[in-house]
Amino acid sequence: MSEQQFGDMRTEYGKSLIEIGEQDQNVVVLGADTTDSLKTAGFGKKFPERFFNVGIAEANLVSIAAGLAYSGKTSFASTYAIFLPGRCVDQIRNAIAYPSREDKKGLNVKLVTSHGGITVGADGGSHQQLEDIAIMRAIPNMRVLIPADSVSVSKLTWVIAQEYGPFYMRMARSKTPIVHSESQQFEIGKSITLRDGSDCTIAATGTTVKLALDAADSLKQEGISCRVIDSFSIKPIDVESLEKAARDTGSIVTCEEHNIMGGFGSAVAEVISELYPVPIRRIGVRDKFGESARDNEIPQLLEKHGITSINITNTVKEIRSKK
Amino acid sequence: MGLNYYKIKRNVLKARKLVIQGTSAAGSGHPGGSFSMAEILGCIFYKHLKYDPKNPTWEERDKFILSKGHASPGLFSNMAVAGYFDTSQMKTLRQFGSKLQGHPDLKCPGVEFCGGSLGIGLSYSIGNALAAKLDGKDQMIYTVMGDGESDEGQVWEAAMAAAKYKVDNMTVILDRNFIQQDSYTEKIMPLDEELVGDDLTDMWKDASRWKTGDKWRSFGWNVIDVDGHRIEQISNAINKANQTKGIPSIIIARTIKGKGVEHMEDNPQWHGKAPKPEFVPIIEQELESQFMIAPSIIAGDMSNLEKEVRRCEEGRADYIHLDVMDGQFVPNTTFDHTKIKELRPHTVIPFDTHLMINDPVKHVGDYIDAGSDIITVHAEVCDESSFGEISDMLESNQVGIGLAINPDTELPEWSYKFIPLLDQIIIMSVVPGKSGQKYILSTHEKTQRIIKQLHENHFEGYIEADGGVNLDNIGACFEDGARAFVGGSAIIGQSDVRLIIKEFRNQVLHSRRQLLIKKAHNLGGIELVNQWIDLHVVGKKKDSLVQIAKELGFQ
């Protein structure tokens, strides 16, 4: 096995924005005093007239982005995940997602955040966004993406730049293991099956995709064949693949760095319970807040909340006995 | 180019009536905040905003953003008057399936912002203004905000951002009506200073206590204070704001919530309540009975007309009536257009120019150029062709169109076709030529008779009573149907112009209250009269109404 490669999501985001900005004069980028961190400052250097750093004023950030979008711009508004969906749900709902005219549903604003989930670590529970999927997927016209690695970020940034309408995309703070090849294609509303299997499906999103792969590898050694799905598109969700997974494998384990209430696991459960009910187990933060952990302690923090490949492995074994 | 004063005024009235019809039909909505901004929207829609109602998404249009979205009836009514949709649609306001949603919505073509959640519109406007700059468009963004809305922290985030980005292609108007949903703004969250007690009157009047402008100035804005019901002040401020480059501009328009309907004025209850259908005809009559006081400055010191203009300004006259006499049409001579041009920079109050001259068609251009806001010519010296020419010139220059008749003249046959275009008709109640004459009593009967004729011919303007009008007869003139009142020696001849104008107004107000009580009685007897009176809870209005009802035998 080759050595695991890591990639930085934010760096890829910043690079992609510059490439997109070179091709599309209509793209504008907005930040809220976190532009170095989000790596959007490079766009600002290259295209200063299309870059707006509004200071620590997130409500203003998303509403100015909405105004620019109404006048025909493609707005990318970025800051930390903790400060966008939760702090600005009203502005996102009423100024971005709600305004619709004819076939244009919502305004053309891309909300791209970093520091999602508990792997934020040291900054502590106040900075660990664990509710964003629930908040954003409850808003009509809003589409929700959680890329698993830096390759996904780079590709998805292009996809959302070209697809009209509001998007929420959450990145992680730390460098993340690369799980996709450079040639991987990404389509909104589709998932990517990374391992095929017949005994159980592990559907994961964001940084937990890597944990799912590790769990599947370890289960394979025990003779259990798992299908692993990267559900980067949480809304719209890939109904077809999920239903097929339920039929083919008879059980589903979901993984996310998010509260299991209203998050990705809930979204999967909604689909499966309606279309082809099979046992489901949701791995994620169980209705709690996070806490500080230095980088080398993040595995301990994840372990405390059961977001580990070992817990996935155990859960798959447990759920198979319920089939 | 003129102020378009009369067109604005006419459309503001239409819009106010539509607000009443719409909210009444819906059984809910926000008339109070729609009325406080009525003149502001009038100036924007009928003077400054660049738009095409037949092509609402026209790329080069200006954008109007109503940040205080709950005042949507005020927006929709103006969009209807401007021609975005038929006025009859106002009755679908807030109904299931209507594009006229409870708050402004892109579902309605021409609406540029989904308002409703407060505090967002300014940021959104900045976004639109920045986009216009990026695209190199000569485009203005006009934004109307509320004072209650200013409690929202985001407003001040946006205030900082607009200054940083030097957003000068956006003009913001703050509808400072001093009332929010729960009570007076200065009780809930003061912008000027905390209100102790329940009487806002002193604070409203005392400019030294207003601090809202200072807040905006300290954020780096150009601030312009105006009376938000004075079309000429608002329009002048918009011009100044639009011309100010390098910093953002806000016009702080001091307004009265519910303006135009006495029982709604300054009454927090009317923030979000609709009038009951039985009151609608009375309210419409009240709206149609707005009135203007126009001092005639030739009754003053002819050697110092600048001073007389200042006195009118201090006295808060609605217009300044300028009697131009040529020594031919009338024996006397006063001044001509050169004098008007000299006076123009001294005030923004509309100039109500009354040409008592021969051959007006030859001279009207000079009087337009001099800065008149309405020009009234005499029927005796016009015919169909010359008046047609005059009317075209005035209309294309956005100057009001007036026609006057002498005491011994009737409206000529040829004038009938122009009646729908006329902004003003002067029925002279003295023989024109000099100031200080007595009112000719038969003018009452004549005015009443002519008004009937006018209504049959779709007249939308105002009757101006001119000649011998004083405190004793102004009420009767109002009852005849006059709505503008020229006061010569009775106003300008007095030492305290402000006081006398106030007395004139109170006298007309009294007559108007009588008129409305009679209307209530006609519609629903004493019961409706009492219900009407009971609506008037603010100040001492109710006492006066009870007294009037008693005098009329309705109590």
Residue B206: band (very low, low, confident or very high) from pLDDT cuts 50, 70, 90: confident
pLDDT at A185: 97
CA pair distance A219, A83, nearest whole angstrom? 38
Minimal C-alpha gap between B219 and chain A (Å): 15
Question: In the 8-state DSSP scheme, what is residue B326?
Answer: B
Which residue's structure tokens are 């001044």?
Answer: B335
A96 touches chain B (CB under 8 A): no
A140 touches chain B (CB under 8 A): no
Kindly state the helix (H) or strand (E) to which residue A210 belongs, with its residue range: helix A208-221
CA pair distance A306, A33, nearest whole angstrom? 34
Sign of CA dihedral A225, A226, A227, A230: negative
Virtual CA dihedral for A114, A119, A125, A128, nearest 10 degrees?
Answer: 20
HEC readout, B107-159: CCCCCCCCCCCCCCHHHHHHHHHHHHHHCCCCCCEEEEEECHHHHCHHHHHHH
pLDDT at A86: 87
Phi, psi (degrees; rounded to nearest 5) at A214:
-60, -45
Q: Does domain B5-276 have CATH number 3.40.50.970?
A: yes
Residue B295: band (very low, low, confident or very high) from pLDDT cuts 50, 70, 90: very high
Is pLDDT of B252 > 90?
A: yes
pLDDT at B90: 96
Q: Could you say which of A28, A57, A63 has the minimum Cβ distance to residue B124? A: A63
pLDDT at B72: 96
Residue A240: band (very low, low, confident or very high) from pLDDT cuts 50, 70, 90: very high
Is pLDDT of A209 > 60?
A: yes
Residues of B within 8 A of A66 (CB-CB) are 120, 123-124, 127
A92 touches chain B (CB under 8 A): no
Is pLDDT of B204 > 90?
A: no
Is pLDDT of B248 > 90?
A: yes
The structural domains of chain A, ordered by start, are 6-177 (3.40.50.970), 192-320 (3.40.50.920)
Residues of B within 8 A of A100 (CB-CB) are 106-107
Please state the ipTM of this predicted complex: 0.96
For B271-288, how does the pLDDT look when each residue is reduced to its tens digit (9 = 90+)? 888 999 999 999 999 999
For B415-460, how does the pLDDT look when each residue is reduced to its tens digit (9 = 90+)? 999 999 999 999 999 999 877 789 999 999 999 999 999 999 999 9
Is pLDDT of B361 > 90?
A: yes
Is pLDDT of A208 > 90?
A: yes
Is pLDDT of B257 > 90?
A: yes
Give the residue on A whose Cα is nearest the Cα of B103: A94
Average pLDDT score over residue span B163-180: 97
**Given an 8 Å threshold on Cβ–Cβ distance, is A65 in contact with B106?**
no
CA pair distance B296, B309, nearest whole angstrom? 10
Q: Could you say which of A50, A67, A98 has the minimum Cβ distance to residue B123? A: A67
CA pair distance B125, B68, nearest whole angstrom? 13
B362 touches chain A (CB under 8 A): no
**Given an 8 Å threshold on Cβ–Cβ distance, is A57 in contact with B128?**
no
B135 touches chain A (CB under 8 A): yes
Question: β-pairing, A27-31 with A51-53?
Answer: parallel
CA pair distance A33, A53, nearest whole angstrom? 6
Residues of B within 8 A of A49 (CB-CB) are 134
CA pair distance A70, B126, nearest whole angstrom? 11
Which residue's structure tokens are 């005059």?
Answer: B390
Residue B160: band (very low, low, confident or very high) from pLDDT cuts 50, 70, 90: very high
Interface test with B, best of A28, A33, A53, A63 (most B CBs within 10 A): A63
pTM of the model: 0.96
Give the residue on A whose Cα is nearest the Cα of B110: A101
CA pair distance A297, A299, nearest whole angstrom? 5
Residue A187: band (very low, low, confident or very high) from pLDDT cuts 50, 70, 90: very high
Structure tokens at B104: 């402004």
Structure tokens at B255: 């307004």
pLDDT at B349: 98
CA pair distance A238, A255, nearest whole angstrom? 16
A108 touches chain B (CB under 8 A): no
Interface test with B, best of A47, A53, A58, A64 (most B CBs within 10 A): A64
Q: Using omega within 30 degrees of 0 as the cis cutoff, is the peptide bond preceding A236 cis?
A: yes
Is pLDDT of A4 > 60?
A: yes
Q: Could you say which of B106, B127, B158 has the minimum Cβ distance to residue A68? A: B127
Which B residues in the span 48-77 are in contact with A, Cβ-Cβ below 8 Å? 63
DSSP B41-76: HHHIIIII----TTSTT-TT--EEEESSGGGHHHHH
Which residue's structure tokens are 């660990």?
Answer: A128
**Distance from the Cα of residue A293 to its chain's centroid:** 21
**Given an 8 Å threshold on Cβ–Cβ distance, is B127 in contact with A63?**
yes
Percent of chain B with pLDDT over 70: 100
A79 touches chain B (CB under 8 A): no
**Given an 8 Å threshold on Cβ–Cβ distance, is A68 in contact with B131?**
yes
For B5-43, how does the pLDDT look when each residue is reduced to its tens digit (9 = 90+)? 999 999 999 999 999 999 999 999 999 999 999 999 999
DSSP A42-105: HHHHH-GGGEEE--S-HHHHHHHHHHHHHTT-EEEEEEEGGGTTTTTHHHIIIIIIS-EETTEE
pLDDT at B215: 98
Give the residue on B whose Cα is nearest the Cα of A92: B120
Residue B267: band (very low, low, confident or very high) from pLDDT cuts 50, 70, 90: confident
**Given an 8 Å threshold on Cβ–Cβ distance, is A73 in contact with B116?**
no
A189 touches chain B (CB under 8 A): no
Is pLDDT of B369 > 70?
A: yes
Is pLDDT of B468 > 90?
A: yes
Residue type, B6: Y
**Distance from the Cα of residue A85 to its chain's centroid:** 13
pLDDT at B202: 81
For B37-66, how does the pLDDT look when each residue is reduced to its tens digit (9 = 90+)? 999 999 999 999 999 999 999 999 999 999
Kindly state the helix (H) or strand (E) to which residue B175 belongs, with its residue range: strand B170-176
- Give the A:B interface size as CB pairs under 8 Å: 101
pLDDT at B427: 96
What class, spelled out in words, does domain B295-494 have in CATH?
A: alpha beta
CA pair distance A253, A272, nearest whole angstrom? 12
For B208-231, how does the pLDDT look when each residue is reduced to its tens digit (9 = 90+)? 888 999 999 999 999 999 999 999
pLDDT at B205: 78
Average pLDDT score over residue span B61-89: 97
Is pLDDT of A1 > 90?
A: no
Q: What is the mean pLDDT of chain B?
A: 96
pLDDT at B274: 93
A55 touches chain B (CB under 8 A): yes
Is pLDDT of A200 > 80?
A: yes
Average pLDDT score over residue span A59-86: 97
Contact between B399 and B374 (Cβ < 8 Å) = yes
pLDDT at B555: 78
Q: Which residues pair with B488 in a beta bridge?
A: none
B188 touches chain A (CB under 8 A): no
Query: Where in the sequence numbering do the catalytic residues of A fall?
Result: 58
Contact between A67 and B161 (Cβ < 8 Å) = no
pLDDT at B14: 97
Picking from B231, B213, B212, B234, the residue whose alpha carbon sits closest to that of residue B223 is B213
Q: What is the mean pLDDT of chain A?
A: 97
Residue type, B30: H
Interface test with A, best of B61, B130, B137 (most A CBs within 10 A): B130
**Given an 8 Å threshold on Cβ–Cβ distance, is A95 in contact with B157?**
no
Question: β-pairing, A104-105 with A100-101?
Answer: antiparallel
Average pLDDT score over residue span A151-156: 98
Structure tokens at A240: 């077809």
pLDDT at B201: 80
pLDDT at B539: 83
Report the phi/psi class of residue A29: left, alpha or beta, with left for phi > 0 and alpha for psi in -120 to 50: beta
pLDDT at B302: 94
Picking from B355, A261, B373, the residue whose alpha carbon sits closest to that of residue B364 is B355
B440 by DSSP, 3-state: which? coil
- C-alpha gyration radius of chain B: 23
